[in-house]
Amino acid sequence: MEKGQKGIITIDSVASGGDGVGRIDGMAVFVPHVCRGDVAEVTIYKVKSGCAYGTVTKFLKLSPYRRKDFCDVADCCGGCDFAHMDYEEQLRVKRQIVVDALMRIGGFVNVNVGDILAAPRPERYRNKMVFPFDRNEEGKIMGGFYAPGSHTLVPLTDCRQGDEAVSRWLAAAVAYLEETHTTLYNEHTHRGAARRLFIRLAEGTREAMVVLSANTKKLKQPELLVEKLLAVDTTYQLKSIMLNIHTEADNLLLGPKNKVLFGQDYIEDVLGELRFSIAAHSFYQINASQTERLYQTALSLAEVSDKDTVLDLYCGIGTISLFAARQAAQVFGVEIVPQAIENAKENARRNGIDNAEFILGSAETIAPQLAKCGVSPSIVFLDPPRKGADEATLDAVIAMHPEKIVYVSCNPATLARDAKYLYAQGYQLKEAIPADMFPNTSHVETVVLLQRQNT
Ligand code: SAH
């Protein structure tokens, strides 16, 4: 097979990452934006050893699992790679992605993978959105999302992943930038000011935060930005408007410092009976209605009792830690982002929880220190970012001999890798429960229970 070659393909599965897979002349070909059951003519654009990559040039038969009209820009915007798939099919595919990763990467056979937890609201669920800016051909400022793998802006009118308020605040911020002739940041020259608009909503309290990230310590007429944002009519209450000072030439989402322009530097949300403060820099699950169910699943797999000491590695603002603390004897949370640890401590205080201690630092340095000091948790929660936990962290967890490890993961591949590592050290994979935290995208969350084998 070679680049430029055309062939007819029947898509028979969808792989992790969201591409459909079929075969041409016996070779697996990965194709974006297709469904199981599509038959199409594809043109090959890349060939690797053992597989090839193609794009559809013509559909010959459309899959019954397709749906129409979810979004006009789904094919060019990087946001929703499953927008064309009906929701039942998305769920089926995601569960299969988890099964495949645990089998192929983890080497597990006969894994007990439960039903996927479907999202109660498979659209307008995102509570955080970040929009870069650019200018259109007429020189007018627009905000939106980048097309996949590029810095080409797909302008946003209304995104069905987020609340309608979001596009209105974006329009208000764009109007402010135009009116004040604020320049846009150029990542090649490192000049210009406005970089991104960051919006976070708290569904439980209807509070909102809007942050303009800019390559400057001082905005032009910041009161005009505040005025325009506050004038937007929504069911959310803006509690925090900030300038994020982002003067480094990195591609981080936010610079290190915020300046409050209106209100406070955090918003609050309610999950179950607990109330949480959330700073702009802190991680917070992006699908609030699914978050409670995700945590309930993790806690019910852990079966925390008042005899347990719990270690929550990668604890963010202390959400899992504080739910666990209500049932446990003692909880330790570890997290690398200082603002998140500040939130976690405050969240323990405000919820009247005094058996949770939060430690700032990386899991890979703090977990070995805790092991050395003789901390011996009976339950460890691991909820790392996409790259998974590293071996120093896993080795320290193993050295602490917890009876149960509950691993919450947003990346089945690294989950499978880490579960395999833990299995080799005597932890049996008892159960995996996928959860759809990210409808209309190929992303899937999984909660796994690993139990120490009695030797
Ligand atoms: N359990 C939390 C957070 C999960 S997201 C929740 O459900 O909200 C993963 C978290 O790990 C983020 O808060 C991130 O800041 C943190 N993190 C990333 N790398 C880390 C590391 N090396 N050590 C500790 N925490 C880390």
Single-letter code of the amino acid located at 392: A
Q: How far apart are CA 126 and CA 121, in angstroms?
A: 10
Would you call 229 exposed, middle or buried from its count of C-beta atoms within 10 A (0-12, 13-18, 19+)?
buried
Q: Which residue has the tokens 């039942």?
A: 88
pLDDT for 245 equals 98
- Is 205 near ligand 1, meaning CB less than 6 Å away? no
* Ligand 1 atom with minimal separation from the 362 CA: 23
Would you call 217 exposed, middle or buried from its count of C-beta atoms within 10 A (0-12, 13-18, 19+)?
exposed
* Ligand 1 atom with minimal separation from the 410 CA: 5
Residue nearest atom 21 of ligand 1, based on CA coordinates: 362
Torsion of CA 225, 227, 231, 232, to 10 degrees: 20
* Ligand 1 atom with minimal separation from the 282 CA: 13
- Is 299 near ligand 1, meaning CB less than 6 Å away? no
Q: Is the predicted pLDDT of residue 455 greater than 70, yes or no?
A: no
Q: Is the predicted pLDDT of residue 295 greater than 70, yes or no?
A: yes
- Is 385 near ligand 1, meaning CB less than 6 Å away? yes
Phi, psi of 147 (to 5 degrees): -65, 155
Q: Cβ–Cβ contacts within 10 Å for residue 182, how many?
A: 21
- Is 333 near ligand 1, meaning CB less than 6 Å away? no
Contacts of 416 (CB under 8 A, 6+ apart): 101, 102, 104, 105, 106, 108
Residue nearest atom 10 of ligand 1, based on CA coordinates: 314
- The rounded Å distance from CA 137 to ligand 1 centre is 40
Q: Cβ–Cβ contacts within 10 Å for residue 404, how many?
A: 21
Q: Which of 342, 339, 341, 385 is nearest to 364 (CA)?
A: 385
- Is 127 near ligand 1, meaning CB less than 6 Å away? no
Residue 51 annotated to the active site:
no
Tokens representing residue 198 in the block: 């960051």
Q: Is the predicted pLDDT of residue 199 greater than 70, yes or no?
A: yes
pLDDT for 148 equals 85
Q: Is the predicted pLDDT of residue 149 greater than 90, yes or no?
A: no
- List, in sequence order, every beta strand (DSSP E) within 49-95: 51-61
- Is 319 near ligand 1, meaning CB less than 6 Å away? yes
* Ligand 1 atom with minimal separation from the 294 CA: 7
- pLDDT tens by residue, 302-342: 999 999 999 999 999 999 999 999 999 999 999 999 999 99
- The rounded Å distance from CA 335 to ligand 1 centre is 6
- pLDDT tens by residue, 422-448: 999 999 999 999 999 999 999 999 999
Q: How far apart are CA 103 and CA 113, in angstroms?
A: 11
